[in-house]
Amino acid sequence: MAMHRLSRHLVYGRHGMICSNSPLAASVGIQVLNDGGNAFDAALAVAAVETVVIVPMCGLGGDS
């Protein structure tokens, strides 16, 4: 069985970075940083959005 690797572009940032499986969650995290929030604020915002938009990946047992 052939394994296909998902490729993503490598991106460098000078002022911050957000990683998420959801583009919507990542954009919320970026907005929090742009509005003056810190990394913890952005992480909480991303986690909150991920809980809504990628339900199977979040919660007890996540992705099981």
Q: Which of the two residues, 64 and 29, has the higher pLDDT score?
A: 29
Q: How many domains does the chain have?
A: 1
> Could you tell me if residue 16 is inside a domain?
no
pTM above 0.85, yes or no: no
Looking at residue 64, what is its pLDDT? 52
> Could you tell me if residue 4 is inside a domain?
no
Looking at residue 9, what is its pLDDT? 72
> Could you tell me if residue 30 is inside a domain?
yes
> Could you tell me if residue 41 is inside a domain?
yes
- What is the Cα–Cα distance from 62 to 1, expressed in whole angstroms? 26
Q: For residue 20, count CB atoms less than 10 angstroms from its CB and return exposed for 0-12, middle for 13-18, buried for 19 or more.
A: buried
Supply the range of the domain harboring residue 48: 23-55
pLDDT tens digits, 22-32? 999 999 999 99
> Could you tell me if residue 14 is inside a domain?
no
Helix pair angle (39-53, 23-34), 10° resolution: 150
- What is the Cα–Cα distance from 61 to 64, expressed in whole angstroms? 6
> Could you tell me if residue 28 is inside a domain?
yes
Q: Which residue has the tokens 């990628």?
A: 54
> Could you tell me if residue 5 is inside a domain?
no
> Could you tell me if residue 8 is inside a domain?
no
pLDDT tens digits, 15-54? 788 989 899 999 999 999 999 999 999 999 999 999 999 8
3 has a pLDDT exceeding 80 = no
